[in-house]
Amino acid sequence: MVGAANSPPEKPVGDRAARLSWLPRLQSTGERLLAIVGLAAFLAGTLPDLPAIYNSGLTVLCLAVAVLFALEYIVRLRQAPARLSWALSAPALIDLLAAAPVPLALALGASPGAARLFGVFWALKLIRLDPAFSLFARVLRNERRPLLSVTTVFVVVILFAATAAFVVERRAQPEAFDSVPAALWWAVTTITTTGYGDRVPATLAGRVLAGAVMVSGIGLFALWAGILASGFSQELRRREFLESWDLVVRLPLFRDLGAPALSEIARSLKVQNATADAIIVRQGQPGDSMYFIAEGEVEVRRAAQRFRLAAGQFFGEMALITGEPRNATVVAAAPTRLLRLDVSDFRGLAARQPKLLEIIETENARRRVSAPT
């Protein structure tokens, strides 16, 4: 199923190795933990009737979290190549919001309870550290025009609904619908289908109106969902292609394929990361995909046999060709970046790109000859 241990491992792809290294991961995990500890302290600190001793302890804890984030901010600022432009970037502003407000508020004489409230900014750290966050940012930016238009329609419907409710309900419920702004509160809770129930139309006209508002709320929401669904689908496709293209063009295996073939292969491959010791393929399970190693190294375990495959090699293709279960277990020997080819795409690709099948079969034959018995 997999290449032989003595086939010369291809030279590592190199400059990307750092991405998978443990240091940045550890740091981001540390930051996350610190933010969560800080948020817990901030939340606990708002509970009423807190004994003074806990109160002081929480203030110290919040201050400590802020100071650690401040130190981190200073280190990052000093390391930045262009300090001013870094300081004005969104991530840096979030770092600053996590570091400055709590100590500043205390220094300016705010009560500890009030100062601790600024700890809520630590929540932004969780967003800043989220790797997939830029994905939304981009979808929202791409689709911002239709989304804004729906929002405009939202606002206009709410204004009309509130005015109509004010006209038809103010006589029946003078205290609840005594002005259009007051009716706006009813309109917003109704169009979002929240329905607190603190203001409910009492007249027939008011109820017919309310029904129309609820249904148009659902419709407007469906419009948002529709826009975002189509935006996501486009962006996800774009992103996956880019990520796998980057890796495909570096694989020596595909060196002789022309650009159109590479482009189609890149469209079919999915990038998959594996941490060290993660089991990628388990012996005896049905095989529904094969893997190309883009970075890192894996260990193949079959009975007592153990051997390694390095970047540039592939495994799991036998199960796709024969349809039999996996004949070995494969474990990541280091943090590894794989390109997964699902069986459905494998068949389509093999049909349209006969050269790919040939490459896989040639390599397969070569391995068999040199395989340990």
Which residues, numbered 209-228, are part of the site for a second copy (CB under 8 A)? Answer: 210-211, 214-215, 217-219, 221-228
Q: What DSSP designation does 114 have?
A: H
Q: How far apart are CA 198 and CA 196, in angstroms?
A: 6
Among 11, 25, 83, 238, binds a second copy (CB under 8 A): 238
- For residues 128 to 167, the per-residue mask of contacts with a second copy, x marking binding by CB under 8 A and - elsewhere, is --xxxx-xx--x-----xx-xxx-xxxxx--xx--x--xx
Among 5, 68, 200, 333, binds a second copy (CB under 8 A): 200
User: What's the chain's length in residues?
Assistant: 373
Indicate the helix (H) or strand (E) that contains 65: helix 52-79
User: Distance of alpha carbon 307 from its chain centroid, rounded?
Assistant: 34
Q: Closest by alpha carbon to 293, among 345, 263, 323, 336?
A: 336
Closest to a second copy by CB, 74 or 218: 218
Q: How far apart are CA 170 and CA 164, in angstroms?
A: 10
Q: What DSSP designation does 2 have?
A: B
Closest to a second copy by CB, 72 or 342: 342
CB of 360 to a second copy, least distance (A): 14
Among 34, 39, 66, 102, binds a second copy (CB under 8 A): 39
Tell whether residue 104 is a contact of a second copy (CB under 8 A): no
> Is residue 55 exposed (0-12), middle (13-18) or buried (19+ Cβ within 10 Å)?
middle
- For residues 43 to 82, the per-residue mask of contacts with a second copy, x marking binding by CB under 8 A and - elsewhere, is x--xxx--------------------------------xx
Closest to a second copy by CB, 202 or 371: 202
Tell whether residue 8 is a contact of a second copy (CB under 8 A): no
CB of 8 to a second copy, least distance (A): 27
φ, ψ of residue 295 to 5 degrees: the values are -150, 150
CB of 132 to a second copy, least distance (A): 4
Tell whether residue 333 is a contact of a second copy (CB under 8 A): no
CA atoms within 13 A on the CB side of 261: 16
CA separation, residue 134 to residues 92, 129, 256 (Å): 15, 10, 35
CB of 182 to a second copy, least distance (A): 8
Closest to a second copy by CB, 71 or 140: 140
CB of 146 to a second copy, least distance (A): 5
Say how many residues touch a second copy, by CB under 8 A: 97
For 68, the token pair is 């650690």
Which among 51-59, 118-126, 300-308, 331-339 is the span making contact with a second copy, rule CB under 8 A?
A: 118-126
Tell whether residue 344 is a contact of a second copy (CB under 8 A): yes
Which among 63-71, 100-108, 189-197, 290-298 is the span making contact with a second copy, rule CB under 8 A?
A: 189-197
Q: How far apart are CA 32 and CA 81, in angstroms?
A: 25
For 363, the token pair is 């390599």
Q: How far apart are CA 357 and CA 123, in angstroms?
A: 49
Tell whether residue 87 is a contact of a second copy (CB under 8 A): no
Closest to a second copy by CB, 280 or 310: 280
The answer to whether residues 232 and 162 touch, using CB atoms and an 8 Å cutoff, is no
CB of 274 to a second copy, least distance (A): 14
Among 178, 324, 358, 361, binds a second copy (CB under 8 A): 178
Q: Is 8 left (phi over 0), alpha (psi -120 to 50) or beta?
A: beta
Q: Look at the alpha carbons of 106, 110, 115, 118 in this order and tell me if their dihedral is positive or negative.
A: negative
The two beta strands, 297-302 and 270-274, are unpaired
Tell whether residue 205 is a contact of a second copy (CB under 8 A): no
How many degrees, rounded to 5, is the angle at CA 278 between CA 272 and CA 279? 90
CB of 63 to a second copy, least distance (A): 18
